Structure 1
C-alpha cells in the first residue's frame, strides 16, 4: 500500500473507488504491467456491505482468473437454492445446481473479496493503492479529462495526471457528478431496510423470499453463521416506520417469517441494528468522455433484486481490462478517446439492460396490492415453477456469459493468498 505522499504524479490509469470493480480492475491491469493507481476514500476495509452474494458466473470467472485458492483460504458459504413462499405456500423453488452452469453462488464478506484483489495487485510494482484518499475534482485540457485532484489524510492535496480516469466510486459517484455526463435517476416505489441475525443450527444453506401481499422479506444465509434479512418499505416512509416503534417493526418481520420471531426479538434492540438502503436505478446515455470512463454502480446502478450489483461490477472489470491494455499499448501520452470504449460500453449496456428489465418486472410484481393482480402473480410464479425451462430462462439474467481474455487467465496462475485485512465478520 502506498502512502499518500508517495503517489506518483503521473500514471496510465487512475481508478477512483476501491470497491469490487475498482480493486479487481486495478489487479488485472497491474498483472499486465500497466501503471495503475487506485484511490479509496475509506481508511480501511472494515465496513459493512450489503452485496456479498457472488453469482455462479462470477464464481466461475474468479476461479478462472486464479483467485480460487484465496477464496478457499478465506472460506465462504455456498447457497444451494432460493424458495419463494407466500403465506406459507411454496410458489417457486430454484436449485442452483440445476442451472446450466451447475456452479453454486457463494457468500463471502465483501471486504474479504476486495482484500483478495488488492493483495494480488500489490505483488506488482506498477500498482499503487492509497486508502483514506478522497476524489475532489477532475483536471481537464481542451475538453479532455487529464487526471484528478485528490485530498489525503489530514487534508493534504495533490493531483495525478492519467491517460484515463476510471470512476468506480459507486451508486453516489462523485466522479459521475463532476464528469458532466447526464444520469437518469429513477427512484423505485420502495426502499429497503436490512439487518443480520445469527443463523440457527440446522437452518441449511437455502435462501428464501417470504411474501405477503405487497410486503416481502429476502432471507439469505451469510458467511460464516448469519442470516442477512432485507425488508421492503414504501418510499420515503422510514420516518413513519420508526415513529410506529421498534416493537411494531419486529412484529411485522415475525408475521412474514415466524421462524425469525425469537431471533428478531433478541437481537434487534435498536434502529442502529438495521441499515437503510435507498433504491433507485441510474441510466446513462454516455458512460465515457475523452480521458474518462464510469464503471460499476457509477454507470449503471441496479436494484438489490437478485443481488446483481457486485456481479455486474466484476464483469465490468474483466471485460474492460483487455480493452484498456490494448489502447494503452499503442503508446503516446494523450488521454484515451471516448471512442476507445464504444464496443465495451455497447456490450455491457446490453447485459445491464436485460438485468434491469427483469428487476423492474420483479419489483413491480412484488409491489402489487390489488387482489386480481396478486392472483395473477401467484399464477405466474406457480407456472414458472412447473416449467422445466425455468433454469434456462433465468440463466440469461443470473449467469449471462462474458468474455475473459486468455492473458488475464494466464496472469492469474498461481494465485496469491490475501495479506490485506479482510474485515471478517
Structure 2
C-alpha cells in the first residue's frame, strides 16, 4: 500500500469518501456536502448525461414510501421528482381473492406525505446529481476503480488507491461510506465477510396501459399462486408483478404467454379482458434475478456499509431503496457528528437497532418468494404491515426525524 500511495499522481484529502453514485451514495454525499464537509465521490461508471432521454433498456422503477419521500422533501427535490412519477394513494390487501384490508396514506396518523410515489431511479439520480453539482466542496471521480484500501482504526484516516483513466489518485479520508452495491469492492477490500445469495424464486413483471377509471391504488394479492402486485410504474401505466416459487413459475412460463395471461387474470378477474388485450408476447415480460446480502458487521473502523452493500434485498415489499435511503440519511448525520469531534459509536448503535428489523424483513421475503405458500399458515403472516412500510421501522422513527432535520439544515457552522 505504501508503494502505491507514493506512486499516486495526486492525493485528495477529504472528510468523507463515498463510493457509489447511485441514489444512496448521492444522498449521503449531498447530505454531508451541504454541511460544508469535504466529500469525494467515486463511481466506476462513466458520467451520465444530465439532460436528454434516459438510458436505453427497461428503467429501474421503485415505490418510495412517505417516510422516505419526507427525506427527499427536506433535500428540496420532492416536487421535481413528483413531476415524472406515479402517485399511489394507498393499498388494498387480498387473501385468497377476498379483500382483507384497505389503507390510504392520507388517513394514516403521522404520515408526512399523503401518498407513495412510483419513480424511475434514473430520475432521482439526475436530480441528486444536479444538486451535488452546486457544491464546490464535493469532488466526483467518474470511471474510478478502487484497488486498495487501508482502513483507519481508532480515529486514523483511511486511504484508498483509485485509478481513473490514466491517473492514479490516493484518497485520504476520515470516513469511507461504501454504497457500491451487493458486490461491494469496498466491503471486500475492508475484509468484511458477506453472504450474497441469489433468490431461488421467480420474479416476473409486465407493464400495460392504465385501465380506464383505474384509481391508482396498489393491490397486493396473496394466495396459492404466490404473490401478485398491481401498482403504478412511474407515470407509464400499470405494472403487474408476479412473485412465486420456481416450480410454480416453470409450469406457467414453459409454454405460450396465454398461460401467464390466464394466471394473472385468475388472480385479478376484473382486469382479465385488459390483460388479455395487452399481454400478447413473452417479449413484454421482464424476468429479474434478485439477491440477498447479509454481512457480519455494517462498519469496521471508519468504513461504513450503506444500503445494498450491507443488506441487499428482494423486491418483495419494496423496501430495498427505502431502507437504503433511510440508512444513508441517518448515517450521514452520525458521520457528521463524529467529524465534529463526537464518537463514531453512534454508527454501531444504529446498526444494533436497525439490523434485527432488516434481517426479519429479509426472512419474510424468503418465505414469500422461494417456497410454495404453506396452506396451514395464516395468510396474514405473509404480508408486511402497511404502517411500517409507510412510516418506517418503529424503533428508528425518531432517528429518521432527526435525519430529516439534518438534511434540511444547510446553514450550519460548517456551511460553505
What is the TM-score of this pair, normalised by structure 2?
A: 0.79
- Identify the structure with bigger relative contact order (alpha carbons < 8 Å, sequence gap 6+): 1
Deviations 1:196-240 (A, max 9, x none): 332223212201112331422112112213223322242599888
Name the SS of the counterpart of 1:202 in structure 2. Answer: coil
| Distance in 2 of aligned mates of 1:239 and 1:127 | 49
Deviations 1:164-222 (A, max 9, x none): 32210122323223321012345555242234332223212201112331422112112
The Cα of 1:329 is off from its aligned counterpart by 4.0
Aligned partner of 1:422 in structure 2 is none
The Cα of 1:264 is off from its aligned counterpart by 6.1
Contact map agreement 2:62 2:119 (CA 8 A) in 1: yes
Once structures 1 and 2 are overlaid, which stretch shifts more, 167-176 or 25-34? 167-176
Q: 1:317 and 2:342 equivalent?
A: no
Contact map agreement 2:182 2:196 (CA 8 A) in 1: no
Contact map agreement 1:312 1:352 (CA 8 A) in 2: no
Contact map agreement 1:78 1:107 (CA 8 A) in 2: yes
- Assess, with a 3 A threshold, how the Cα gap between structure 1 residues 377 and 161 changes in structure 2: closer, same or farther: same
Once structures 1 and 2 are overlaid, which stretch shifts more, 397-406 or 168-177? 397-406
Once structures 1 and 2 are overlaid, which stretch shifts more, 86-95 or 294-303? 86-95
Find the partner of 1:364 among 350, 362, 367: 367
Once structures 1 and 2 are overlaid, which stretch shifts more, 237-246 or 311-320? 237-246
| Distance in 1 of aligned mates of 2:409 and 2:186 | 32
- Assess, with a 3 A threshold, how the Cα gap between structure 1 residues 346 and 368 changes in structure 2: closer, same or farther: farther
Q: 1:36 and 2:45 equivalent?
A: no
Contact map agreement 1:188 1:235 (CA 8 A) in 2: no
The Cα of 1:319 is off from its aligned counterpart by 1.3
What is the TM-score of this pair, normalised by structure 1?
A: 0.77
Aligned partner of 2:92 in structure 1 is 83
Map of 1:72-151 to 2, 5 A cutoff? 72=82, 74-102=83-111, 103=113, 104-131=115-142, 133-140=143-150, 146-151=158-163
The Cα of 1:26 is off from its aligned counterpart by 0.9
The Cα of 1:129 is off from its aligned counterpart by 2.4
Map of 1:393-412 to 2, 5 A cutoff? 397=392, 401=397, 402=400, 403-404=402-403, 406-411=405-410
| Distance in 1 of aligned mates of 2:194 and 2:61 | 22
- Assess, with a 3 A threshold, how the Cα gap between structure 1 residues 320 and 361 changes in structure 2: closer, same or farther: closer
Deviations 1:255-294 (A, max 9, x none): 33341564466356344741413242x2222222234211
Q: 1:194 and 2:196 equivalent?
A: no
Map of 1:101-250 to 2, 5 A cutoff? 101-102=110-111, 103=113, 104-131=115-142, 133-140=143-150, 146-152=158-164, 156-163=166-173, 164-185=175-196, 188=199, 190-235=201-246, 243-250=254-261
Aligned partner of 1:298 in structure 2 is 309
Map of 1:269-348 to 2, 5 A cutoff? 269-271=281-283, 273-280=285-292, 282-330=293-341, 341-348=344-351
| Distance in 2 of aligned mates of 1:377 and 1:149 | 51
Q: 1:25 and 2:31 equivalent?
A: no
Contact map agreement 2:23 2:124 (CA 8 A) in 1: yes
The Cα of 1:315 is off from its aligned counterpart by 1.4
- Assess, with a 3 A threshold, how the Cα gap between structure 1 residues 340 and 250 changes in structure 2: closer, same or farther: farther
| Distance in 2 of aligned mates of 1:261 and 1:355 | 39
- Assess, with a 3 A threshold, how the Cα gap between structure 1 residues 62 and 253 changes in structure 2: closer, same or farther: same
C-alpha RMSD over aligned residues: 3.6
Name the SS of the counterpart of 2:106 in structure 1. Answer: helix
Task: List gaps (5 residues or longer) in structure 1.
Answer: 1-5, 331-338, 414-425
- Assess, with a 3 A threshold, how the Cα gap between structure 1 residues 411 and 174 changes in structure 2: closer, same or farther: same
The Cα of 1:18 is off from its aligned counterpart by 1.0
Find the partner of 1:15 among 4, 7, 18: 18
- Assess, with a 3 A threshold, how the Cα gap between structure 1 residues 396 and 119 changes in structure 2: closer, same or farther: closer
